Copies of this chain bind each other. A is one copy, B any other.
């Protein structure tokens, strides 16, 4: 049994990691950390886990962590980067759910995150953990940068177009809609029920930090630098993320042809489902699962492709994908512990 630690486990990605790993047949949770709650039973903070875990939260500096084979970091941005070198030096694998190692340029990081990167040398060592585009590298990685929720949904919608000359990659617009849990569990006015309930709003238009993450990894696929417009929106629901992605087409094609192209591209993927033509992505159908559903349409009147992709932001957009990366890294079956369909309704 692999021993794993989850650092920063009192947030929403943390509790979802605990839940997924508790039922994973090949690993054992050896330590869960929270500076706020250290000394408290995990089940005091998350009563949903009662009868499933006896652990108390420990500090991230607990010696328990040094006994683990693999560490998941569900820490805030910039906190994670300080911790990674110690684990790597200790020959432990790290799957980092923060944004700290998702960009390959310290300069770009500083530009969007307004803080210098303290571990620029590690950026080139980190592997971006989106299995659908990086599977082989993930298998031998030491440090995996687990993708953001928005980039996961947008990149999966876009990847099949990256090398097609009939798609105008300079015309890409991604309009994304996320549930509130994407903002984390920290109390704030912005996540107060009375503020977000029954409300749909746009935010950070043109300035959201997931923009360079999407651009860099899509540029990697396309083989040239691509810029795109990314617009995040908040939805009055807990889980789920839908991206509607627009791309101008350089040739006429039907929705069926486009769908077949997507089906070919993702034929081997266990967690990507291409929807029937005429139906579109719905977060309800992927909620509580590791799936990404993709629906395609061609607006032939304007010559645009419209790609919709839906994920559960806490699973395929965070903790489920982290487990998928762990499975690849450790040589387990990629779907181990992740193969349940979502709960409906």
Contact = CB atoms under 8 A, between A and B. Distances in A.
A305 to B, nearest CB: 10
A200 B282 contact: yes
A283 B177 CA distance: 14
A199 B231 CA distance: 19
A265 B300 CA distance: 33
Given A227-B302, A235-B200, A246-B173, A19 B344 contact: yes
A210 to B, nearest CB: 14
Interface string A174-211: 01010111000101110111111111111101100000
A288 interface: yes
Given A197-B197, A343-B288, A273 B50 contact: yes
A297 interface: yes
A295 B206 contact: no
Given A229-B302, A308-B205, A293 B47 contact: yes
A140 to B, nearest CB: 28
A244 interface: yes
Nearest to A235: B200
A7 interface: no
A132 to B, nearest CB: 15
Given A244-B202, A286-B48, A343-B288, A197 B308 contact: no
Q: How many copies does the complex hold?
A: 4
How many chain A residues sit at the interface, stated as a range, is 35 or more
Interface string A18-31: 01001100000000
Contacts of A345: 12, 15, 181, 185, 194-195, 197-198, 238-239
A231 B280 CA distance: 11
B180 A194 contact: yes
Contacts of A16: 343-344
A193 B178 CA distance: 13
B205 A299 contact: yes
Contacts of A293: 47, 50
A298 B206 CA distance: 7
Interface of A: 12, 15-16, 19, 22-23, 46-52, 173, 175, 177, 179-181, 185, 187-189, 191-203, 205-206, 227-229, 231, 233, 235-240, 242, 244, 246, 273, 275, 279-289, 291, 293, 295, 297-302, 304, 306, 308, 310, 340-345
